[in-house]
Chain A
């Protein structure tokens, strides 16, 4: 794309300066936004040398790009010392979630679980989702069901809600939701003016608790 080419030309022309590093970061991030992670890796690697105060952005998006392209070893290497190197970064928790995801892919579910449990508070849906998957991968089905169910029923507007439900369905045995859980989910969605999901849920719940509930 012409816009990308322009940024790249600028970055090449200022390769030894902070401005060049910023341009590489901008280009790498643009590819991340396009979900074209493979193309993000080179510019982000080039941005590393002169990243300066923006080193946390470069490290995080480079690590994430490696993770998304299946280069988990490189992802782990880029994200391992993030907290020590960038203690004031606003991306600290995001970096730890990505690091835990990479650990999971490397089969280190116990380490991922341990890491995510340490950063669980204040509660965040992406951390909960990663933790739920880590529990599931380490065979802790009850904890996985509780964690993933917590997203779907108490944080139904979260971007991870539907994926959490899909993960829940993969678990070998999950107890059916309680009326209280369904009520919490319905109320949370209604408060955000999302009516069709709770209406759909209502049909299912209604059949369970009201013999004369209408057929859909």
Chain B
């Protein structure tokens, strides 16, 4: 109980109080003691007392080497080493976490981080083994697509084109619209022609097939159902939330796959694109693993809408940008909510800071500009695409670097680029230390590809 409350104090930002409570508890037994030590470590971590943090991890290792609190502490230790560019120590911590807890909740993640650091250190032979081990040990985990891709890349470097082809093909088939699946399809196009026989790799058979329960067939709502009729009436009056409730009531009694699409459609018709996207993400959480025909068209169009399209295309063209990439960026930034405001006060569709908006408006000689115009979709996109173009130019035409800079800032991207050599922008993306930024870049590039598949030539 006291540990839970100390945790609350720590999370509530009262670290000094939390430490006092933890110190007052003295030495406990078993898991409770492990939790106490873990929390003491987190308090030291929060206070930037690194020596104390590492000492606490050592103490935890001695006191209870099998506790999952140690797994968490080792992950924190690895991340702290990464922040300080202590890559060997970070690798050791990731490895220790994986080896001590091969079935732990973070096992796949820490294994992947160790494998990736191995590649980054130029130890390709070890990295190959680590990637294969990743697939073998954790075939259902989220890191498998990355392991498949990078193992195939190393196979290409060894001129093992059959292996590379098999791995890329698996990625493309099994992880249909994932970031790495699109990269795999691009690599497949540039591989030398295949030989006579397709080589089989037992390792690939360990990856479980896609759960086909995610597929959805189209159906129409029952028009004679009272709740459906009420939903139509309420929607006509713009009472969207009531209409959605009525649709959900109809779906709960009648079933059918029509409800998510109809609900999303209600949101779209009233301009709530963000709510439509969120609703569909919730209704079809596995959609990135599915091929386009596996979901009704209405689902995809709600997930990847094209609002403000004429303005979006015009702004994109004016700055030499692919409109689908811009749509994908907006989807990630604001989900097409023109009045979105972030905690950092970034505004509108492309989430521009007011000072950025002012600067770009001045550059583009926009007359009578004021900050409230950032809420106007056309103005926001005009300024946002120009700003993004500037990022692309600053980073030599690389959309990967530009997207990372759009999210985390140019200075950080320059700092990350200075930390080592990268084969190509894809290696840079996987090496981005901020999980949020890494996933942001990957999501935007992946989504642009989905837009293209859905709508063809813009």
Contact = CB atoms under 8 A, between A and B. Distances in A.
A213 interface: yes
B137 to A, nearest CB: 31
Contacts of B239: 25-26, 29, 57
A179 B249 contact: no
A209 B249 contact: no
A213 B21 contact: yes
A34 interface: no
Contacts of A210: 2, 21, 24
B237 A25 contact: yes
A202 B24 contact: no
A118 interface: no
Contacts of B17: 199, 203, 214, 216
Interface string B221-246: 00000110110011011110010011
Classify chain B: how many residues form its interface, as a range. Answer: 20 to 34
A195 B11 contact: yes
Nearest to A183: B1
Nearest to A27: B237
Given A53-B229, A210-B21, A183 B4 contact: yes
B458 interface: no
Contacts of A25: 237, 239
Interface in A1-48: 18-19, 22-23, 25-26, 29
Contact of B4 (A18, A186, A216): A186
A26 B230 CA distance: 14
A90 interface: yes
Contacts of B2: 206, 209-210
A110 interface: no
A57 B234 CA distance: 10
Nearest to B12: A199
A174 interface: no
A212 interface: yes
Contacts of B236: 19, 22
7 contacts: A18-B233, A53-B233, A54-B230, A186-B8, A201-B8, A209-B1, A214-B20
B9 interface: yes
B4 to A, nearest CB: 6
Given A26-B237, A202-B9, A214-B17, A90 B245 contact: yes
A115 interface: no
Interface in A148-203: 179, 183, 186-187, 190, 195-196, 198-203
A80 interface: no
Contacts of A203: 17
B9 A213 contact: no
Contacts of B16: 214
Nearest to B19: A214
Given A196-B12, A214-B20, A26 B238 contact: yes
B8 to A, nearest CB: 4
B269 to A, nearest CB: 16
Given A53-B230, A190-B11, A199-B14, A206 B4 contact: no
Interface in A69-120: 88, 90
B13 interface: yes
Interface string A126-145: 00000000000000000000
The residue among A18, A183, A196 with the most chain B CB atoms within 10 A of its own CB is: A196
B4 A22 contact: no
A212 B17 CA distance: 11
B5 A186 contact: yes
Given A53-B233, A214-B21, A216-B17, 18 more contacts: A22-B233, A22-B237, A26-B237, A26-B239, A29-B239, A57-B242, A88-B226, A90-B245, A183-B1, A190-B4, A195-B12, A196-B13, A199-B9, A200-B12, A201-B8, A205-B5, A210-B2, A214-B17
Nearest to B1: A183
A140 B21 CA distance: 40
Nearest to B226: A88
B301 interface: no
A204 B230 CA distance: 50
A19 B233 CA distance: 9
Interface string B174-211: 00000000000000000000000000000000000000
B7 interface: yes
B210 to A, nearest CB: 32
A195 B12 CA distance: 5
B129 to A, nearest CB: 40
Nearest to A199: B12
Contact of A23 (B5, B11, B229, B237): B237
Nearest to A56: B230
B11 A199 contact: yes
Contacts of A52: 233
Contacts of A22: 233, 236-237
Contacts of A205: 5
Contacts of B227: 88, 90
A33 B11 CA distance: 35
